Structure 1
């Protein structure tokens, strides 16, 4: 219909036209309106009703369980949380609406250092010392802090439209959860994979604890670099000094060897000339890797040097070097020989070709120590300072309590210089490990810790996928898990393939303790060092279930557990706490296995987290379950990228480029945030910002207009109007064909978690197939045809079919908007689109020959509409109904197809002529549609004042100024 108004002298037929009627507003007003839908869902209990629906149909709905990776109960949500939870919600809702019983139990990680650190900060602000407080009282403050943030985060997650069992989430600090975590730990105790070892681990001097790899982040850091002479004993190497290079001068007191690589070419280099202030000495001879000699001499301000000969690596065998601090300590602390040892880890890419080896402070060094029996040192305390009685450096800090560098590095450099061992010094800016909580630098420190051996054969009757934790994990990755995207498989596989034993212990207060006892006087290698007793374990479990893990710290607990089984005085109680990754890695046991709304086989259909969780939750869950279940706890893993600003920069408060979920919700509404997630490729990093959100909001408006058209034109629709597909016009049957195609694509896309693909297909369908074609064509029939006309009834039947499919197909994404659409038609109490399934779409709606025919018709229609637009732009016509073009078509089959339909109606013209005659030169053409040309002609006749078509028969009927169709409709 054209947009002009009827002549004032003509009859007014406006009230006889069936214009759209709907209360569905053009403007969404989501920020103000969404909370009311949330309240409605809570009132009618949607999540519980879906579970009841499944329970009432035993076996009819296959279960689907997405297991929630627990966020940390500490602080408001950031945009990464929103991305993660919305993705999870879209998975759960789509699976539910495709006929599954999709369960979602949200959960929280509650133990660990981040919360403990917050409570310590509160103590420090009050001038208090945490160590002076009763540990149980301290733990209870940590629990209260976590509870407060759980309540806040729960409401923030719900505001995103996320459905789930919010009334009964899982918490790692619930008594039953703490019990199961302890029981899972005791399985490692009983199967023999738990051991206490002393090895270097990543250590935070500020937080006084070991850290897991997932708790470490890397930042630029400027380190001291030193080149140190080690002098051979007994005239070896003809008096030439061996030079090492290190960025950790503080580790020199712990040096126990110098490593070399037998495959590297070494030479002897004489210093001939030096610059001012150099610590190199003219005439001295140094042994260096040939590839690195020039760089070393440059760093040492050597202005002239000569290579005086080859040094075969056989010359290093059996050579003893003097420790640089030999003779400096009265107690002869460093008066021992330092062996030269071969090591594959030594390279000639940087340094000198020799590696200073301190087994207590580096993994390669530790492995060398194991291989060659080097002694471990215990010179560094938990706070990052040297032991008080260490000569020269006792009590000095490597890292101060505020995270800044202590005096230890400079003191060592000065001591080396004084001893004549410092060949050169400098500074180096490089990537260095930091704690992700305190942001302070870390050190490698040798401490007694508790480990799980991942290569020890286990005789536990669960060897289907291997007899060690590592084998089970690798086989699970390869055989049992579906990876989305598939690159996730390789990432986790390579990490687990190369990882060392799992460090379980942390020297903290807030967590689940390592529930074990050690025998006094026994060594960690002794068979009876650990108490392995099923009855003791059962007592611990019962106590935790009744009183929580705090009971471990109550005076006399050891005696309660051991009395009558062993002599309590013979055993020490372990007070380290478990790494929180063990907590979250155990969640499959107390959620999937133990809860009524868990899963029947204790396995999850999907774990879904950010890509960083390959080294976090996916990883720890895999190791934990492989030790206690014999396989991975999940069948599928989906990973998403990180959130960045519009320029692709990492978000940070200091840069001011963060986007908080609440900001987006306040301005646009949660559905726009959800649509941003659905439109993006979550397998890579996602950008978000003002311009991106404006684009998302525009897509939303276009989609909203499509559903508004459907609602408006379904006003008063009844079952009696319905037309069977076989009786419908071809245009309607083409729409049904597209719906049958889309049904397959949508279900396949949702099953593959391809939300971007699903939304793009539906958005294109709504804006192109529907709004630009079907709705545009059928507006005339819907507005002007008689109510009982087949064409209008068929169109309304198709709109009803579209309504039921589009609302359910889009409901997992636009949870609020599709609810609003649904309630516009079905406002009765308890009604909700989220209680519906996606309707079955008959496959016999597919009609490929019809689709091929209509593809031809649409191509020709494109040429016609483009030709008319030229005339409209030139102001020759105001509306397409003023035209009656002549369409020249070369292909005979296409001519036949066009003549079989009302092509004028399809082109929204008052008339049209199809001809196979040769096209005149002045005809309009589109290069991409060959063989079609359009000659513009004005329509002849008078304008119908009801439908505005220009036809010869207007004003020749009972009702003045009407065409035959409108005259009949008026009765």
Structure 2
């Protein structure tokens, strides 16, 4: 037997310095530093100058803490949008921003005060605002570095901040547009109020939690009625907010509800809805069961009559605490309320216009005004006859069955039942986590349904209404404009349209005012006698200019006359001291970012707003209302919303549960590209999960993609333009892979257009794993390793690998921003950044193949692989190269042994695939079993020719 030679040195193995081990946590900071040194953002702007614009306007997060995982996902999605649009060749600038005013920051500064036992009210407002400004600036810097570490590419040196003087001046200017067009009014309405934070709250600042409250049944004695027999009876109300009883002014009944006049065994008579009698009896013990009477006897002895609610009109009751005199001695009318139902309670609802929307509207319609008994801290005002100076009204002990309210009602003989066992959902401040109340206070509002006020110098023609005759009709209301804008906006996912639409359709007037210190002031002067606010363009211009020069501190009593000028006297006007709802700030960002000229690369309106689904109630809506009121349309063309990030079990993340995932720690362990791959792999349109096992799975997915690039880099070692070969000269397998790449390209373009990043990532991953690694690369490794460098088949393969490389590194760049750069620089160390490249142009590589044929071949290949596996497992053969395969005679024409990586393939009868060991010898270089190999270790004809050429001197 001939001594076998070692031919390993003659095999063309892939060569690359690109490591299999990523080491992302160590490698990424260096890549980021190079981007910053090269100012990759400015390079991108220069490369796309003059191209079609795509504007994603960044919704401002609060500058008050470290980045959290939801924050990371949000910005990765934004970065993916901007990068894919840039890849498509568009000019897609990204100006990041922060919300710097309002309670989130003020609350944090106050927390520091409390730790130092300082009283905020004793600190000069300018000093307090300066501390808020410094606090926000510090967290802007922290968050900026954290977001940059995620690979987010943006104008980080010039972000927008709502506390910049120019921004504050623009917000004031936007407010003045509302004022000059008549879209502001001051009125007293119940608003959600936080007794802890001592300010009104927006709906977006409220979250609902289950609580257990005290429920009480209270008797109001009827003193007058068109139904004489009701005089002396008691109208019974039921409530879960006992603290509102001291502010009661009326009782509502349902006009279509039937009420039962009932005499209890103790002689007292009660009026309760027929449908709620059993519930009432169960709570109070005042039913016939208390005396062991049958229902028939009870009705005969105790039923005094049944009345329609509408019969109660004109009935008057008195407050249980009427003996206190004053406010409590006034009559309490029974009023018809369409909102009264028989779902629970007694069918009679006590009305406190200070503390409920229905209460306020019904009482106001009957001339009953609020009394403002509850102060901002939740205590009754000191001069209130009952419980004056006491509270807080949100304290469970204050409302408890043995608390001061129930005790007084019990002593007055009016408390029929009280139990602290009523479970229900209740609004809380999402900052302090404390319960909020509805509280009537003087506030500034934007009307949702007022007509004829939207036409001013900025109102576009499409925001005006004309009738068929051509005469001018009143302009639509803000609600109508907003609903029309929603209809014209694209929503991703589509369900967002109904979500924001239902909110806008039913929302009350917009409460603009807040009673805090850190924010943009409501820069209005109100005439002390008429109560009308001043809407003078010259005064407004002076105010805006002053704020632009020195910020919100410019709004002060000391400068009042300066702003009013010679035309008005400061002593005739009240300077409003409330600040704006912070949602008005963020709702105005489109004005000072997209229109101010400070960022010349952007334009109005934005193509896209992208935030979490909670922003249908927040930023999406405030931006919509602000823009519709001042510009007649939405400031965006498309709204994209994502769900919330849950833990691995699907639970909401909470520090108290200890199930939060810190993106900063994930980057330390895995790297930013792993977080990016996770964020872009989940179905972000729904709530999604993250956890250790999930991240391990993502890391495994990343390794497979990385190994694809590593193989491409190694296999393309030394590839140059002279080696390229035309598509028409390629084998059918190469043309098939190019066709697959073309279809992938189309699906990725579609995914970008649909903002379907889950599909985008999955398509790339599946293509790398299934079409390339498990199929194309596997089949062609023999060609790469063993064919002569000049062989047309090897040249065709490497040409296709180059096309694949150029395409895949571009496709992957928006997702794996650091890895794609590493891959690109590995091949082109002196080249420009991968992120300056454009979407691959595959026109020159288009290929047509018989798709059905190749689908059939791949299906047959899977069957052959399955049939070979038992022989490999039982060590009958060492690899598929040692197998002889018989396939159905109907198999498509192709070099089947090459495709299946076997010794031979023959066509048999029937549909059965059979496998047996080959009798051919094994080539010592390519390891194929071929008939021309004389003995194991000898060379096949191809290898003999290649080795001979290598050993022959040139």
**Residue matched to 2:518:** 510
Whether contact under 8 Å (1:237, 1:315) holds in the other structure is: no
Distance 1:720 1:414, change over 3 A: same
Deviation at 1:876, TM superposition (A): 0.4
User: Which one is further off, 368-377 or 339-348?
Assistant: 368-377
Q: Deviations over 1:552-578 (max 9, x none)?
A: 13x511121113121121111111000
- How much has 1:960 moved relative to structure 2? 7.9
Q: Which residue of 2 aligns with 1:603?
A: 605
Which is worse superposed, 411-420 or 734-743?
411-420
SS in 2 for 1:700: helix
Return the alpha-carbon distance in structure 2 between the equivalents of residues 387 and 441 of structure 1.
20
> Which secondary structure state, in structure 2, belongs to the residue aligned with residue 632 of structure 1?
coil
Match of 1:135 among 101, 105, 125: 125
Residue in structure 1 matching 2:321, options 310, 322, 325: 325
Q: Distance in 2 between matches of 1:185 and 1:568?
A: 21
- 1:61-117 CA distances to partner (integer Å, 9 max, x unpaired)? 210010000000001111110110000011110010011111110000000011111
Written as runs of structure 1 = structure 2, the 5 A alignment for 1:448-463 is 448-457=442-451, 458=453, 459-460=455-456, 461-462=459-460
Change (3 A) 1:405 1:23: farther
- For the residues of structure 1 that align with 2:619 and 2:669, how far apart are their CA atoms? 34
1:953 aligns with 2:932: yes
Is 1:284 matched with 2:268? yes
Match of 1:298 in 2: 282
Does residue 390 of structure 1 match 2:367? no
Question: Which residue number corresponds to residue 543 of structure 1?
Answer: 546
Correspondent of 2:737 among 705, 710, 735: 735
Post-superposition offset of 1:737 = 0.4
Secondary structure of the residue aligned to 1:819 is helix
Candidates 487, 500, 512, aligned match of 1:478: 487
Separation in 1, partners of 2:480, 2:189: 24
Say whether residues 1:352 and 2:346 are aligned partners: yes
Cα distance in 2 for partners of 1:614, 1:599 equals 27
Partner of 1:836: 837
The 2-side partners of 1:474 and 1:827 are apart by 54
Deviation (angstroms), 1:860: 1.8
Q: How does 1:373-452 map to 2 (within 5 A)?
A: 373-399=367-393, 406=398, 410-427=403-420, 428-452=422-446
Following the alignment from structure 2 to structure 1, what is the Cα–Cα distance between the partners of residues 648 and 763? 25
In the other structure, the counterpart of 1:937 is: 916
Instruction: Give the 3 Å change call, closer, same or farther, for CA 367–585 of structure 1 in structure 2.
Output: same
**Where does residue 15 of structure 2 map in the other structure?**
21
Distance 2:860 2:252 in 1: 79
Pairwise CA distance, 1:366: 1.0
Question: Which of the residues 688, 691, 710 maps onto 1:708?
Answer: 710
Alignment partners' CA distance in 2, 1:488 and 1:945: 65
May I ask how many residue pairs the two structures share in their alignment? 916
Gaps of 5+ in 1: 1-6, 273-281, 524-528, 920-930
Q: Tell me, yes or no, if the aligned pair for 1:77 and 1:156 is still in contact at 8 Å.
A: yes
- Paired with 1:568 and 1:165, the residues of 2 have a C-alpha distance of 44
1:206-252 deviation per Cα after TM superposition (whole angstroms, max 9, x unaligned): 11100111111112222221111111114551532110011111111
Matched, 1:908 2:892: no
Which residue of the partner structure matches residue 93 of structure 1?
83
CA RMSD of aligned residues (A): 1.8
1:329-728 matches, cutoff 5 A: 329=325, 332-399=326-393, 406=398, 410-427=403-420, 428-457=422-451, 458=453, 459-460=455-456, 461-462=459-460, 464-465=462-463, 467-479=476-488, 481-523=489-531, 529-553=532-556, 555-597=557-599, 601-728=603-730
Q: Distance in 1 between matches of 2:881 and 2:410?
A: 96
Counterpart-to-counterpart distance in 2, 1:828 and 1:395: 76
Change (3 A) 1:502 1:405: farther
Other structure's SS at 1:548 match: helix
So what's the TM-score if we normalise by structure 1? 0.92
CA distance in 2, matches of 1:317, 1:906: 90
CA distance in 1, matches of 2:262, 2:804: 84
Question: 2 CA distance for matches of 1:285 and 1:580?
Answer: 52
Counterpart secondary structure, 1:556: helix
Question: Do 2:398 and 2:405's aligned partners in 1 also have CA atoms closer than 8 Å?
Answer: no
Q: Which residue of 2 aligns with 1:158?
A: 148
Distance 1:846 1:106 in 2: 43
CA separation of 1:252 and 1:144: change in aligned 2, threshold 3 A: same
Counterpart in the other structure of 1:922:
none
- Cα offset for 1:328? 2.2
Q: CA deviation at 1:432?
A: 1.2
Number of the residue aligned with 2:295: none
Q: CA deviation at 1:843?
A: 8.2
CA contact (8 A) 2:55 2:603 kept: no
Contact 2:677-2:815 within 8 A present in 1 as well:
yes
What runs of 5+ residues in structure 2 fail to find an aligned partner?
290-297, 464-474, 950-954
State the distance in 2 between where 1:521 and 1:252 align.
Answer: 34
Specify whether residues 314 and 884 from structure 1 end up closer, same or farther in structure 2 by C-alpha distance, changes over 3 A only.
closer
Q: Distance in 1 between matches of 2:374 and 2:461?
A: 42
Tell me the distance in 1 between the aligned counterparts of 2:526 and 2:476.
27
Task: Assess if the C-alpha contact under 8 Å between 2:58 and 2:94 holds in 1.
Answer: yes
**Match of residue 526 from structure 1:** none
Q: Is the 8 A contact 1:940 1:951 kept in 2?
A: no
1:966 and 2:943 are equivalent in the alignment: yes
User: What CA distance in whole angstroms lies between the structure 2 residues aligned with 1:27 and 1:269?
Assistant: 83
For each residue in 1:922-966, what CA deviation from the matched residue of structure 2 results, as whole angstroms up to 9, or x when unmatched? xxxxxxxxx3x222232233211110111221259xx98111111
- What displacement does 1:844 show? 7.3
Equivalent residue, structure 2, for 1:310 = 306
In 2, the alpha carbon distance for the partners of 1:391 and 1:163 equals 62
Q: Secondary structure at the match of 2:640?
A: strand
Call closer, same or farther: CA 1:179–1:408 in 2, change over 3 Å. Answer: farther
Question: What does residue 808 of structure 1 align with?
Answer: 810
Shift of 1:159: 0.9
Aligned residues of 2:252 and 2:349 also touching (Cα < 8 A): yes
Distance in 1 between residues matched to 2:836 and 2:400, nearest whole Å: 66
| Deviation at residue 845 of structure 1 after TM alignment | 1.9
Kept in 2, the 8 Å contact 1:219–1:433? The answer is yes
Give the alignment's TM-score, normalised by structure 2. Answer: 0.94
Aligned partner of 2:100 among 87, 96, 110: 110
Indicate conservation of the 8 Å contact 1:287/1:311, yes or no.
no
- Structure 2 counterpart SS, 1:233: strand
Residue 591 of structure 1 contacts residue 598 of structure 1 at CA under 8 Å; is this kept in 2?
A: no
Equivalents in 2 of 1:343, 1:790: separation in Å? 88
Q: Which residue of 2 aligns with 1:191?
A: 181
Quote the Cα distance in structure 2 between the aligned partners of 1:22 and 1:792. Answer: 18
| 2:30 aligned residue | 36
The 5-angstrom pairing of residues 107-256 of structure 1 reads: 107-234=97-224, 235=228, 237-256=230-249
Cα offset, 1:463, TM superposition: 5.5
Give the Cα separation in 2 of the matches to 1:404 and 1:319.
33
SS at match of 1:937: strand
Measure how far apart 1:544 and its partner are: 1.0
Q: Is the 8 A contact 2:237 2:350 kept in 1?
A: yes
- Go from structure 1 to structure 2 and tell me whether the alpha carbon gap of 1:404 and 1:257 turns closer, same or farther (over 3 Å shift): closer
Cα deviation for residue 447 of structure 1 reads 0.5
- Equivalent in the alignment of 1:928: none
- How far the C-alpha of 1:314 sits from its partner, in A, is 3.5
